[in-house]
Each structure stands twice: as structure tokens, then as C-alpha cells.
Chain A
């Protein structure tokens, strides 16, 4: 029996497709779901689970066939994209609508760097003007220092 080995990319797409079935047609509330198992595919009915398993195969099959057929990842993605839309990709495509998403973090980082530069510039300890003590102050200073030394 030849094992079915999936690439991580296609597996991601399959995962997403499987997850979609939970959204599709689920009419009841999710009140049974608690803040719990991350991504544990839990179902409210046998019917849902059956559909989930059905879909696992439904999507693996054409993707598997396409992979065996020599189609590139890009071609497979295009195929799925035409039929299911952007929603199916975990990694959003780079388009005008997602420019903010993809370049936002970089912009934040640059902003951060600019802020640090600004802070550093202003934080340099000022060059102190030499403090000149007058006679009296110098006397007091000497007395103090002597006192300290003796202790």
C-alpha cells in the first residue's frame, strides 16, 4: 500500500478546507465549545464528522491527482483559487488589498527605529559646563572631604 505523503503546503490547504466545513451549514450555536482544544476538530453531530471525513478525501483526491500529474504548487493553488477564492489560503496573496498587512510590520519596525534614533539623539548626556566653585564653597568642600576621609 503506497503511503500518501502530503507536502506541507497542500496539507495546509486541506486543513483549511476541512475547517471550512465547520463553518458551512453550521446553524446551531457553538455553546458547547469551550476555550479549549486548539484546532481539535470537534463536532456536534455524527453528520458533521462524517462530512468532515468525506471532505478530507474529497480535497485530497484532486490535489493528490494534480501532484502526481506534475502540476506545480502554483498551478494547484490557482485551481483552488478559481473555485474557492482567497479564503482558502492561509497565506494571503500579495495584492493591493493586503499591502497593509504585509508591509505594516515593516513600517512599524522602521517607525520604531526612527523613534529610538530620536531618543538617542536627545539622550546624550549634556557636556557639563565646568562648575566653578568660589572660595567659600571650595573651603566647605575640602572640610567635607577631609571629614569623610577620616572615617
Chain B
């Protein structure tokens, strides 16, 4: 009996080793989004383009992308071509949230680089961003036809992210809609 007790450390260690081994294959850097499957927060903001007042009701009735961006944000510039291409191809509507930016700078940026957005709302104090759980621009949400957040991508969208994460997410949401 005593001799068996001496084996306890080996077993505890083995359990620990298995745990650590599994842990190696987890990605420690996926950041969570608690807002998945929750509706978009309410808001009342003006657009960048023509200062018209927009609320949640004015958002598209079909699945769309909500893209948080700013003129100061370098990665936003980097993902602009992808979003533009998506707009050209008519994949789905894209709505922008101009986050913690200056209106004139935002307009300049859109003139210089082209805008993939149907429209962008001005979130100068960042309140909408906070309510969306935004860490910072760029972040992109896939929202379904009922205004519910279904997917969140943090950081720049490169081709890999677009193909492997965002497109499938969009497809999944669209497929549901037809059921």
C-alpha cells in the first residue's frame, strides 16, 4: 500500500504533461467576443457622407458587414482593397463605423482611397465602439438580417482571413436565412 503511494507523483505529473501537451495546440491569442448572437446595440448617429441621422432601423435587412475604421488606422488602409473588391462583386452590403476620428479627416480618407461602405456612421466619442466591445480599429462584424452579431474579426483582414474566416461566416449566415 505504501509503495503504491509513491506512484502518486508520477501519475500527477503525467496528467500535467498531457494537459500541457494539449495546451500547446490551443491558440493563446484568440480574443473572445461575448457579443456573438447578441443584437447590435442601439445608436443614433449621423453619417459621414451627408450627416443624415441613422438608427438601427436604417441598417440593411439582409446580412451585412459592419466595419470599424479610422483615417488614422494603417491596417484599415491595408484591408481597404479587399473590402472594395467585395463591394464591386456585390457580396454583401458593408456599413462603416468611423471610430474616434475627425469628420474632415474621415472624408478625406474616403476621397483618397475609395469607400467600400454603403455609408459610415460617425462614432467620434467611441460610445458605439465600446458598446460593440471594440478593442480598436480595424474590427469587422458579420451581422445577420435581424441585426444580430454572428461573427467578429479583430484586426486587419488579409486574404487568408477573408477566405478562411469571413467568407465562410457570411455563407453560414446567408444559408440560415434561406432555411
Contact = CB atoms under 8 A, between A and B. Distances in A.
Interface size class of A (residues with CB under 8 A): 20 to 34
B136 A23 contact: no
Contacts of B125: 61
A62 B133 CA distance: 12
A113 B36 CA distance: 46
24 contacts: A17-B135, A20-B31, A21-B135, A21-B136, A24-B135, A24-B136, A25-B136, A25-B138, A25-B155, A27-B155, A27-B156, A50-B72, A55-B135, A58-B100, A58-B129, A61-B125, A83-B34, A83-B133, A84-B32, A84-B34, A85-B33, A85-B34, A85-B133, A87-B32
Interface of A: 17, 20-21, 23-27, 47, 50-51, 54-55, 58, 61-62, 81-87
B130 A25 contact: no
Interface of B: 29, 31-35, 72, 74-75, 100, 125-127, 129-133, 135-136, 138, 154-156, 158
Give chain B's interface secondary structure class: loop
B31 A23 contact: yes
A122 B101 CA distance: 73
